[in-house]
Structure 1
Amino acid sequence: MKYKALVPELSVTNISESKKFYLDILGFHLEYERVEDKFAFLSFGEAQLMIEEINGSWNTAELMYPLGRGVNFQIDMDDVEGMAAALKRHEISLFRDVMVNHYESDDGVVMVKEILVQDPDGYLLRFSQLITAGSSI
């Protein structure tokens, strides 16, 4: 496995609950885990993510829900509508339902379809599907 240049590691309150959410509901793949450390390395397409149950090793301050305030993790995918439907089937509320956004870039306007959902600890995940790249509105 080739590691990406940036791989976020999220401190989670319950590794079993988080693994169930990421693997069974979102469709992430378990690359490997260290059960004794309550750690898992996950992937979703080209995205990589680590989760580890809170153990005090990495905490810079008291952790309070929702964790990860001020950051969202964009994860590229091919079927945002399918992900939204899967989340709703599991009775998971979306932070933001399916929306189409336009983002300016050096190459023009990029149009993406996105949803936002919080994981069990409140981390904000943004699933993003490219619709058009470098076009004008």
Structure 2
Amino acid sequence: MATDNGQPPRGGFAGLVPELLVVDIEASLRFWIDGLGFTIAYQRTESKFAYLERPEGAQIMLCQRWGKWETGPMEMPFGRGAMFQIHVEATEPVQKALEALGIPLHEGPREVWRQWGDREGGNREIFVLDPNGYLIMMTEELGERPLSPKDEV
């Protein structure tokens, strides 16, 4: 039996870690590692499974489809109705890595300011589809600011 390589994520296991079923684990690993900047915390190559993490703490699991855990028909694009938001230090290096791989953005970059309470927070966002059709939003925080008087209700 092959052994696992790697170790648990550096910051411990996150409270919620999605596991994405993929068609080709190698193609997905290239996208998530070379394009989005994740690293392998550990993997089980015999199971075609990898547990990935980013330095900021985002974690995701990838597993090549083999029938188990499929609760209904799997049709491309996968992930319809779901979007995965990943906070990163900066979106520009991710965008450049995707461009170098020839992977187009689905949308962005864009700057968005959203209100919560008496403040608003800003994000720079880029959107991309992974090789299986999962929608990924990479977001960089731009800070917070008080609402301007015209924004207050």
TM bin (shorter chain): over 0.9
Q: What is the aligned partner in structure 2 of residue 23 from structure 1?
A: 33
CA shift at 1:134, angstroms? 4.5
* Alignment-derived partner of residue 68 in structure 1: 79
Spell out structure 1 runs of 4+ moving beyond 3 A: none
- For residue 78 of structure 1, report the CA deviation from its aligned partner: 1.5
Counterpart among 40, 46, 51 of residue 41 in structure 1: 51
Q: Which residue of 2 aligns with 1:110?
A: 121
1:136 aligns with 2:147: yes
Deviation at 1:82, TM superposition (A): 2.1
Relative to its length, the structure with more strand (as a share) is: 1
Gaps of 5+ in 2: 1-8, 149-153
Matched letter for residue 34 of structure 1: R
Counting matched residue pairs gives 137
C-alpha displacement at 1:107, in angstroms?
5.0
List alignment gaps of at least 5 residues for structure 1.
Answer: none
| Counterpart contact for 1:94–1:115, Cα < 8 Å | yes
Query: Quick check: which has more Rg, 1 or 2?
Result: 2
State the 1:104 CA deviation: 1.6
| 1:84–1:97 Cα contact (<8 Å) kept | no
Confirm whether residue 100 of structure 1 aligns to residue 117 of structure 2.
Answer: no
TM-score for the superposition, normalised by structure 2: 0.85
Of 70, 76, 79, the residue aligned with 1:59 is: 70
Aligned to 2:23: 13
What letter corresponds to residue 105 of structure 1 in structure 2?
A: W
Secondary structure of the corresponding residue to residue 43 of structure 2: strand
Quote the RMSD (CA, aligned, Å). Answer: 1.3
Report the TM-score when normalising by structure 1.
Answer: 0.94
Identity of aligned residues (%): 34
Of 78-87 and 38-47, deviating more is 78-87
